[in-house]
Amino acid sequence: MLLEKMLQSQGFGSRKNCQQLIKNGAVSIQGEIVTDLKHKFDIHQPEFSVYGTEFQYREKIYIALNKPSNYECSHQATHHFSVFDLFDDVLMNRGLQCVGRLDQDTTGLLLLTDDGQFLQALTHPKKHVPKVYQMQTAAPVTAEQILQLQQGVELRNEKDVFAATDVEALSQNELKMTVHQGVYHQVKRMLAAVGNKVESLHRAQVGQLQLSSLAEGEWVYLSDEQISAAKNLSEKIVGI
């Protein structure tokens, strides 16, 4: 692949901009500065650096973020920070998008990608990728509420009935459950529908990909195994 094309695909700006970087001697491959505009970049040796910063060629990007509270999933955040503030311009130039949304006050596993097919595979209503949430509730969780959540509740302006699986009270005011759709404020509305209220919400798992050691505010690129797990194509839970 022509070096300038590779740089362009990785978010380093326009073709002209990438040519200029090469001409300026900003780009190194295996420790050697490359100024030849005709240089062919070998994607099987994906490391390169720009102005001394190391990068790796990635055809598509798949990221897991442990989302902190007070961050919105929109590009133009109004009252809080945007999750996109956590990523540099090079990544943003690639058209990074959130895979579904978490509310501003929800913490936990948020996936981001520039791969439209991956985004569709995880968010299409027919795919029903399970998502595990843990929450603190305003009132103690009752057996009746658990039963109602398992049997399904109706939500205003939605046609479907929304049922959760693996509903478990972790303590008096702490609940864990798995949902299989992804409509606006779904978990909070489901809890309101059974007469309780979510005080704080955390997403622990998407598909078979489970948050384990990633600290709040940190993000990592997903491995192929983790990508399959997120799509729910894995036999077992994979941690991140």
- Give the interface with ligand URA as residue ranges (CB under 6 A): 102-103, 106, 185-188, 201
As measured in angstroms, the least distance from the Cβ of 112 to ligand URA is 15
As measured in angstroms, the least distance from the Cβ of 193 to ligand URA is 12
Burial class for 125, CB neighbours closer than 10 Å (0-12, 13-18, 19+): exposed
Q: Which of 91, 34, 36, 29 is nearest to 65 (CA)?
A: 91
Residue number with CB closer to ligand URA (10 or 106): 106
Residue number with CB closer to ligand URA (25 or 217): 217
Residue number with CB closer to ligand URA (94 or 188): 188
As measured in angstroms, the least distance from the Cβ of 138 to ligand URA is 14
Pick the catalytic residue from 88, 103, 105, 160. Answer: 103
As measured in angstroms, the least distance from the Cβ of 36 to ligand URA is 49
Distance CA 113, CA 129 (A): 17
Residue number with CB closer to ligand URA (25 or 125): 125
As measured in angstroms, the least distance from the Cβ of 98 to ligand URA is 11
103 tagged catalytic: yes
Q: If you search the block for the tokens 């479907």, which residue do you land on?
A: 160
Distance CA 10, CA 212 (A): 29
Tell me which DSSP letter residue 159 carries.
S
Q: Does residue 70 come out as left (phi exceeding 0), alpha (psi in the -120 to 50 range) or beta?
A: left
Q: Which residues contact 86 (CB under 8 A, 6 or more apart)?
A: 65, 71, 217, 219
Residues in the chain: 240
Amino acid at 240: I
Tell me which DSSP letter residue 84 carries.
G
Residue number with CB closer to ligand URA (164 or 229): 164
Distance CA 3, CA 69 (A): 40
Side-chain-side CA neighbours of 116 within 13 Å: the count stands at 1
Give the active site residues.
103
